[in-house]
Amino acid sequence: MTDPHVVGAGMIDFGELYEQSFDDLLESAYLSLIENVDKGVDPSDIDAAWYGTIDIANEGSSGSAVAHATGLFETPITRVENACATGSDAFRNAAQAVKAGDAEVALVIGAEKMTDSTEGLIASAALERLWRGRGVTMPAYFGMRATRHLEEYETTREQIAEISVKNHENGTKYPHAHQQFECTVEDVKESPTVSYPLNLYDCCPVTDGACAVLVTSEERAREFTDDPIRVAGYGLASDTFQRGAPEALTNFPATRQASSQAYERAGLGPDDIDVAEVHDCFSITELITYEDLGFCEDGKGGQFVDEGRPHLDGDKPVNPSGGLLSKGHPIGATGVAQIAEIFEQLRGEAGDVQVDSPEVGLQHNIGIGRNATGAVSCVNILERP
């Protein structure tokens, strides 16, 4: 049994890419990966691929879309869809296949053309089946978590806003980020209300993007780079909105379950994580995620921010890339991009957002099925071998 290793990553600048088709996004990310592999990669070495997209533009995209964008026509290509955890779950499936020996050199590629969606902004996207008729949009769903967190704990509105401030500051230093501007806690509090208590700057933007990474076996990793990064663990879990468990109003059980799977596989715990890219679709989501991942105690997410711990120079830097709030959230690409960012961090190649000598990095998504049946979380842990 081999350990999967990440040996390369390629990412395009995220943004409102009206001038690029969905195929263009896939092709650009793939070519960026091919150019970025330290010792080069011959496309014929790639013997399997996993492709993440929720196909929000409803193009009917299957694995063959990647075959066209890359020329990998005879290669097995599986499309994975798992709400906002789509990209990270595509990565997990690739890692499993490499571990099984069924793939030796696996491409993971994610893309989303959010600006082509007929569903409109994430900010207004409704959860379709059960909740739309009850007015529960995505911001409303997360807004209710924020309200409850403010009520149950000593969390303040300012602490929630500070997460957006931090991530936008990081994003100004990260070349691929979409919304590159700094803002203050006051700016966040005074931006237009989307769904109380969340305002516009508490919400991630609508962003197109794509990213690709290369995963291979321990045995073959050094064919591609002298500095491979080991996949130490991964986890995936679902949850429901309909159990009515009170604790689920201030946290996400799916994240707790997925991260405990990943920690167990890796033989690591929250204290071992040196850098994390987590799912900040809304500012409150990141605050809750600190608690769900075990970075701090339940109810102490606000204090964790106040102490500066998740900041770039803190002891537990979270979202040095600017996170979804600044970088954007092209759904199928998001998890793959977070893997690429952790890969760069662990190799010391993260430029102006490089944190201090990380050995272990964690990537996290929490998603909500469009059919509103529940939440899904995926967590991957990478480490320097």
Q: Which residues form the interface with a second copy (CB under 8 A)?
A: 1, 48, 54-55, 58-68, 72-83, 89, 92-93, 96-97, 99-102, 128-129, 235-240, 242-243, 253, 257-258, 261, 265, 367, 369-371, 373-376
Q: 66 or 146: whose CB is closer to a second copy? A: 66
DSSP, collapsed to helix, strand or coil, labels residue 49 as strand
125 versus 342: smaller Cβ distance to a second copy:
125
Of the pair 2, 156, the CB lying nearest a second copy is at 2
Place of tokens 């405990």: 260
> For a second copy, which is the closer residue by CB, 98 or 165?
98
Angle, alpha carbons 103-85-100 (nearest 5°): 20
Given the residues 84, 183, 281, 378, select the one marked as catalytic. Answer: 84
Q: How far is Cα 131 from Cα 80, in angstroms, rounded to an integer?
A: 25
Contact by Cβ (8 Å): 37, 7: yes
Q: CB count, 10 Å around CB of 74?
A: 8
Residue 330: is the preceding peptide bond cis (ω within 30°)?
no
CA distance 65 to 80: 13
Tally Cβ neighbours within 10 Å of residue 42. 10
Cβ distance to a second copy smaller for residue 23 or 158? 23
Retrieve residue 72's tokens. 């990998």
**Residue 353: is it exposed, middle or buried by C-beta count within 10 angstroms (0-12/13-18/19+)?**
buried
Write the burial class of residue 156 (CB in 10 Å: 0-12 exposed, 13-18 middle, 19+ buried): middle
Question: CA torsion, points 121, 93, 178, 198, in degrees to nearest 10?
Answer: 50
**Cis ω on the peptide bond leading into residue 197 (within 30° of 0)?**
yes
Catalytic-residue membership of 84: yes
Residue closer to a second copy by CB (options 98, 275) is 98
Tell the smallest beta-carbon distance from residue 60 to a second copy (Å).
Answer: 2
Beta carbon of residue 95, minimum distance to a second copy (angstroms, whole number): 8
Residues near 308 by beta carbon (within 8 Å), at least 6 away in sequence: 314
- Exposure b/e, 228-245, CB count within 10 A at least 16 = b: bbbbbbbbbbbbebeeee
- CB-based contact 364:184 (threshold 8 Å): no
Q: What's the min distance (Å) between Cβ of 128 and a second copy?
A: 6
What single DSSP character describes residue 15? B
Q: Tell me how far, at minimum, the Cβ of 98 lies from a second copy, in Å.
A: 8
Smallest distance, a second copy to C-beta of residue 118, A: 10
Q: Which is nearer to a second copy, 153 or 234 (CB)?
A: 234
CB of 373 to a second copy, least distance (A): 4
Rounded CA gap, 245 and 189, in Å? 30
As a whole number of angstroms, the distance between CA 349 and CA 9 comes to 12
168, 279, 311, 329: which one is catalytic? 329
Contact 39, 223 (CB under 8 A): yes
Cβ proximity to a second copy, 89 vs 274, nearer residue: 89
CB of 21 to a second copy, least distance (A): 10
CB of 346 to a second copy, least distance (A): 22
Catalytic amino acids?
A: 84, 329
